Amino acid sequence: MQNSPRAAVVVFNPAKIDKDRLRAVVARHAPSECRIEWIATTPDDSGEAEAAALRRSDVDVVLVAGGDGTVRQVGTALANSGIALGIVPTGTGNLLARNLRLDLGLEASVSRAFRGEHMLIDVCRAKLSRPDASNERLGFLVMAGVGLDAQMIEYTDEGLKRRIGPLAYISGIARSLRGGNRINVTYTVDGHRTHAARLHTLIFGNCGELINEIPLLPEARPDDGLLNAVGMAPRGPIGWTKIGLNLVANKAARLRGLNPDPPVVNFADLEYSEGSHVKAFFAAPEIFEVDGDPVGEVTAVEISVDAGALKVCV
């Protein structure tokens, strides 16, 4: 048990959680001497600016009650600050919390933030090159990429997500699968081997699991200082079937308490790679997503790993 926090900030999305309910739970679990500040996000402000400003204060922990996008923006803003991130999952995916095997319940999540027990995880830093030749830098904590992941998010109806949760992604996935292997990309890992391919999907991951603990990147670990990548180039329905069977086999191995042996299998439809620095160049602009949020079109991306940069309450 570490020292209890003396000052905390709660960043919450009022569209995702009732403030009065959250306030009552925080009051039950926060130490009596802990000072609490509240920040509500808006559609135009996820709390990233406020989190960056908190780096200059005496705050010990920032609780984030929101979806994957809010967790990403606040978490990356807190990197290398020594301030702990307390995740209070209220979104559809909650992928970082799931990958860290955290209890998703409200009481457990708030209690965890005030216990003072932490782990350090990596933060991925991406430099995006835009079609207009401008550049943008942002961070992510779980996954980023083009193809299936980005198209699934782009094609999924937000209203449907609110009504039925993760099942809403099914229609987005179905639309994406019809796209074929249309992404012409060249990418290098750690400056060594160059991959030139025509892909359906290219995903970079700090964490490895999708919804329902499906291990898309079975070797990915959020605290190993490495970035994992997978390129998918399925050749028709048979190719998608082979990819699906590979994911199911990895899932089954996890359920049995085993590691896939070998951990990853490369074949013509699916290729894995691993390193700490990746560059990718696209022949045409592609929609890029980070931790479940589309962030516009890119012509190139460069991703590095900031190892152990973020303290997370566990």
Task: State residue 247's pLDDT score.
Answer: 74
User: Interior CA angle at 69 toward 57 and 24, to 5°?
Assistant: 60
**Is residue 277 within 8 Å of residue 304, measured between CB atoms?**
yes
pLDDT at 190 over 80: yes
CATH class of 7-116: alpha beta
CA distances, 251 to each of 247, 256, 301 (Å):
6, 9, 30
Task: State residue 262's pLDDT score.
Answer: 42
pLDDT at 38 over 80: yes
Task: State residue 179's pLDDT score.
Answer: 58
Mean pLDDT of 115-132: 97
CA distances, 69 to each of 14, 35, 139, 235 (Å):
14, 26, 11, 33
Task: State residue 204's pLDDT score.
Answer: 97
The residue extents of the domains of the chain are 7-116, 123-308
Alpha helices in the chain (DSSP H): 19-29, 48-54, 68-78, 95-99, 106-115, 148-155, 158-164, 169-177, 236-255
Is the pLDDT higher at 268 or at 133? Answer: 133
Is the pLDDT higher at 54 or at 164? Answer: 54
**CATH T-level fold of 123-308:** Tumour Suppressor Smad4 (2.60.200)
Task: State residue 261's pLDDT score.
Answer: 46
Task: State residue 181's pLDDT score.
Answer: 63
Closest CA to 93 of 292, 287, 262: 292
Residues 76-123: pLDDT tens digits?
999 999 999 999 999 888 999 999 999 999 999 999 999 989 999 999
pLDDT at 266 over 50: yes
Task: State residue 166's pLDDT score.
Answer: 58
Mean pLDDT of 193-217: 88
**Is residue 285 within 8 Å of residue 297, measured between CB atoms?**
yes
